[in-house]
Amino acid sequence: MATVPEIFGSMVFNDRKMEERLPHATYKALKRTVQNGEPLDLSVANSVANAMKEWAVEMGCTHYTHWFQPMTGITAEKHDSFIYPASDGQVIMEFSGKELIKGEPDASSFPSGGIRATFEARGYTTWDPTSPAFIRDKTLYIPTAFCSYTGEVLDKKTPLLRSMEKLSSVAVDVLHILGKTDVTRVTTTVGPEQEYFLIDKEMYDKRPDLIYTGRTLFGASAPKGQELADHYFGSIKTRVAAFMADLDEELWKLGVMAKTKHNEVAPSQHELAPIFATSNIATDHNELTMEVMKKTAEKHGLVCLLHEKPFAGVNGSGKHNNWSISTNTGENLLDPGKCPEDNLQFQLFLAAIVKAVHEYQDLLRLTVASAGNDHRLGANEAPPAIISMYLGDDLGALVDSIISGTEYHSAGKTNMLTGVDVLPDFRKDTSDRNRTSPFAFTGNKFEFRALGSSLNIGCPNYMLNTMVADELAQFRDELAGAEDLDAAVRSLVKRTLTEHQNIIFNGDNYSDEWVAEAERRGLCNYRSLPEAMAHYVDQKNIDLFTRNGIVSKQEMYARYEIELETYSKQLHIEALTMIDMAEKNITPAVIEFVRSLSDAVFVKKSLGAYSVYAETSLIEELSEKLEAFVKKTDELKTAVDNAAKINDDLELAMYYRKTVFELMNELRAIGDAMETKTSAKYWPYPSYGDILFGV
């Protein structure tokens, strides 16, 4: 059997293969593009294309595809074969630099938020040489960016790449002012921890709600949920273990550094964490991870659910976006070092992030908003809808001392005494974790925890990069030419932390007191996508993105429309699915069951039975519920019909949230109550117990 180092990256046209297969000058030129962002010329592209094709064909590939991340939220691909007519009526396998650099998928069916009318179908995909090509299913995948004929950005990747460039150039300026003149490039790194559910395919196939919407729209709680906490980190079941082993191997072949896997809190819930990578590669890899999870599950007769809230009553799934910044000289700029009190460079970067998160908390909130994630944020499981930062005891004390001008006392690392001779004592972390904070400092990185499990991490990361770059640019301008640099940095840090300390919160984010306290502090609390998204196009946000050249005002409006439209469409589909399930299966099933009870009453009475209490009381209860259920179904139908009268995107999304969503919840409550009273023989769908404990 091949070892892990042997299979790792075997399906990737990685640095080693490029060095082996490219002419030295081409390899060097490509490296300069990848490492320093230098533009690439066609002769280099031709040479790279040829080497890629040779390798791909040797590996059995017949096709290539430009792989991109349109605003649908999933990846897209269009496959072309390498064949090229030869003079003798035969074909040869060809791939030119032009084909590598530019693709032209028909863009008309991808959401563009009105930027591009359907008749202007042209869209271009452009090779992203910073993310390596790879092979899946006998096809060479080329990571690309996607834009319209007129140059508007239509994807999630371009803004991310731009934001990385921006942050790099500004951070380098700042570091140069601080005397670190050897730094020429700064990169953002991301390690996304991915949660998911794994259920039996047979159960899945019987649930139209899972098939159409990714979540259960009906379903009474099972007698057991997650209350015993016996699933978290529990030993992994054989079938799941086989899936995970297969998944790891597939991901390793694709160069994804899958590292940690474990069971999560909810039954049937699991997590996978990779080793962190540069933001854009981490984004591509996370998209790949989600796709490979789904495909691998199929092979095992399982279905991988990436919806944020597949089951009511147990935890939903999120994604932790671990984020940091480091230099090409190998320094992590978010590492406080041994003496953070003297580390002005660290303090400066920390201050920029504190200010960014405070000023653009609305952006961080809305970048994680989705119909699915609305079920988590604000509920008592995920970080709340209020964005705040957790710094931990040590850094918290440092910030306090800077603000108040008092001396800083580190909590200091202490020895953990295990009290058992054979167990080694070890150094304890200086602060415990705060699992409730949406944006927590964790040693040498920040962990943005509010992301939904299915989200493309490109968006939160380009927002984060841009806001931090913008604050650093202000710092740079203030510090440039300072006579006493030390004093200038100290006063800038002190002023910034003082002005923005309201975003720092070290307590329990789930408590009601925090909601009230956050309101006093003037922090936003947007509970749903429409509420949050309304602020995307606030002037300060448009200014931020246009000032930094990340996306234009028109592109922002396009994104705004797409998000709102998608939200309304998703709720629309959910409502229709519920109505369908209610009318075609649930109502008839309950009627059948009631009829069988009535038959029983009839038979028993004719035999002169002493009591028919059990049957009649059940008939009464179910009949009453059924009547309410049918009426509620009709109400929901009318509400859905009325949505057609609303034209404004924001108003429509608000309507779906306030009216349709509420009715769906009410309908579900009645349906679930009927489920608990109806014979399992008659109930048309697998129960929560069947699904959650079925693997």
Q: Which residues bind ligand ADP (CB under 6 A)?
A: 189-191, 193, 273-276, 322-324, 332, 442, 444-445
Q: CB–CB of 222/687 below 8 Å? A: yes
Separation of alpha carbons 285 and 186, rounded Å? 20
Nearer to Mg ion, 204 or 323 (CB): 323
Residue 442 interacts, among Mg ion, ligand ADP, none and using kind-specific CB cut-offs from 5 to 8 Å, with: ligand ADP
Q: Determine the angle formed by the axes of helices 279-299 and 157-177, rounding to 10 degrees.
A: 140
The one of ligand ADP, Mg ion, none whose footprint includes residue 526, by CB under 5 to 8 A per kind, is none
Task: Provide, rounded to whole angstroms, the least separation between the CB of residue 325 and ligand ADP.
Answer: 8
Number of amino acids touching Mg ion (CB under 5 A): 1
Query: Is 9 within 8 Å of 255 (Cβ atoms)?
Result: yes
Which of Mg ion, ligand ADP, none does residue 191 bind (CB under 5 to 8 Å by kind)?
Answer: ligand ADP
Which residue number, 185 or 262, has a Cβ lying nearer to Mg ion?
262
Residue 10 binds which entry of ligand ADP, Mg ion, none, CB below 5-8 Å type-dependent: none
Looking up tokens 């072949």, which residue turns up?
Answer: 253
Distance between CA 660 and CA 575 in Å, rounded?
7
- Exposed, middle or buried: residue 308 (CB in 10 Å: 0-12, 13-18, 19+)? buried
In the complex, least distance from residue 263 CB atom to ligand ADP, rounded to whole angstroms? 13
Shortest reach from residue 471's CB to ligand ADP, in Å: 19
Which option in ligand ADP, Mg ion, none does residue 243 bind, with CB closer than 5 to 8 A by kind?
none
In this structure, which long-range contacts are made by residues 679-684, counting pairs with CB atoms below 8 Å and at least 24 apart in sequence? Answer: 679/593, 679/596, 682/589, 682/590, 682/592, 682/593, 682/596, 683/589, 684/585, 684/586, 684/589
Q: Judged by CB, which is closer to ligand ADP: 44, or 352?
A: 352
Min separation Cβ 346 and Mg ion, Å: 22
Tell me the β-bridge partners of 326: 187, 332
Q: How far is the CB of 193 from Mg ion (least distance, A)?
A: 5
461 binds, among ligand ADP, Mg ion, none (CB under 5 to 8 A by kind): none
Nearer to ligand ADP, 375 or 445 (CB): 445
Tell me which of Mg ion, ligand ADP, none is bound by residue 445, counting a contact when its beta carbon lies within the kind-specific cut-off of 5 to 8 angstroms. Answer: ligand ADP
For 13, 341, 492, 495, the CA distances from 405, given in Å and listed in that order, are 54, 12, 13, 11
Tell me the three-class secondary structure of 201-223, residue by residue.
HHHHHCCHHHHHHCCCCCCCCCC
> How far is the C-alpha of 431 from the C-alpha of 433, rounded, in Å?
6
Q: Does the footprint of Mg ion cover residue 445 (CB under 5 A)?
A: no
Least Å from the CB of residue 460 to ligand ADP: 13
Nearer to ligand ADP, 30 or 171 (CB): 171
Q: What is the contact mask toward Mg ion in residues 318 to 347, using x (rule: CB under 5 A)? A: --x---------------------------
Residue nearest to Mg ion (CB): 320
Instruction: In whole angstroms, give the CA distance from residue 136 to residue 371.
Output: 31
- Which residues ranging from 303 to 322 are in contact with Mg ion (CB under 5 A)? 320
Nearest residue to ligand ADP, by Cβ distance, number only: 191
Task: Choose the one of ligand ADP, Mg ion, none that binds residue 417, judging by a C-beta under 5 to 8 angstroms depending on kind.
Answer: none
Pseudo-torsion of CA 18, 20, 22, 25, nearest 10°? 100
CB of 273 or CB of 692, closer to ligand ADP:
273
Tokens of 453: 């499990």
Q: Which is nearer to Mg ion, 215 or 320 (CB)?
A: 320
Q: How far is the CB of 326 from ligand ADP (least distance, A)?
A: 7
Considering the complex, state which of residue 433 and residue 631 has its C-beta at the smaller distance from Mg ion: 433
Nearest residue (CB) to ligand ADP, 285 versus 632: 285
Least CB distance to ligand ADP at residue 236 (A): 17
Shortest distance, position 224 Cβ to ligand ADP, whole Å = 26
Q: How far is the CB of 431 from ligand ADP (least distance, A)?
A: 13
Looking at beta carbons only, is 139 or 324 nearer to ligand ADP?
Answer: 324
Q: Return the one option of ligand ADP, Mg ion, none that residue 687 interacts with (CB less than 5 to 8 A, by type).
A: none
Answer yes or no: are the C-beta atoms of 316 and 308 closer than 8 Å: yes
Task: Give the ranges where 510-610 is alpha helix by DSSP (H).
Answer: 512-520, 529-533, 539-547, 553-581, 587-606
CB 186 within 8 A of CB 276: no
Q: Residue 226 or 278: which CB sits closer to ligand ADP?
A: 278
Beta carbon of residue 467, minimum distance to ligand ADP (angstroms, whole number): 17
| Residue 197, φ and ψ in degrees, nearest 5 | -110, 150
Classify strands 139-148 and 63-68 as parallel, antiparallel or unpaired.
Answer: parallel
Structure tokens at 587: 């109502």
Please state the closest distance from residue 449 (CB atom) to Mg ion, in A.
Answer: 7
Tokens 């796709």 -> residue: 291
- The two three-digit tokens of residue 158, written as one number: 């371009």
Residue 324 contact, options ligand ADP, Mg ion, none, Cβ 5-8 Å cut-off depending on partner type: ligand ADP
Question: 273 is in the binding site of which of ligand ADP, Mg ion, none (Cβ under 5 to 8 A by kind)?
Answer: ligand ADP
Residue 657 binds which of ligand ADP, Mg ion, none (CB < 5-8 A, kind-dependent): none
474 binds, among ligand ADP, Mg ion, none (CB under 5 to 8 A by kind): none
Handedness of CA 169, 170, 171, 174 (dihedral sign): positive
Nearer to ligand ADP, 332 or 585 (CB): 332
State the binding partner of 332 from Mg ion, ligand ADP, none, CB within 5 to 8 A by kind. ligand ADP
Minimum distance of Mg ion from residue 557's CB (angstroms): 35
Residue closer to ligand ADP by CB (options 139, 168) is 168
Query: What are all long-range contacts of 236-239, with beta carbons under 8 Å and residues at least 24 apart?
Result: 236/261, 236/262, 236/263, 236/270, 237/695, 239/300, 239/302, 239/695
C-alpha to C-alpha distances, 89 to 63, 81, 83, 85, 94, nearest whole angstrom:
20, 17, 12, 7, 15
Q: Where are the alpha helices (DSSP H) in 312-413?
A: 344-359, 361-367, 392-404
Q: What are the φ/ψ torsions at residue 127 (nearest 5 degrees)? A: -55, 130
Given a contact cutoff of 8 angstroms between Cβ atoms, the answer to whether 534 and 549 are in contact is no
Residue 244 Cβ vs ligand ADP, minimum distance, rounded to whole Å:
16
Cβ closest to ligand ADP, residue 223 vs residue 330: 330
Residue numbers at the binding site for Mg ion (CB under 5 A)? 320
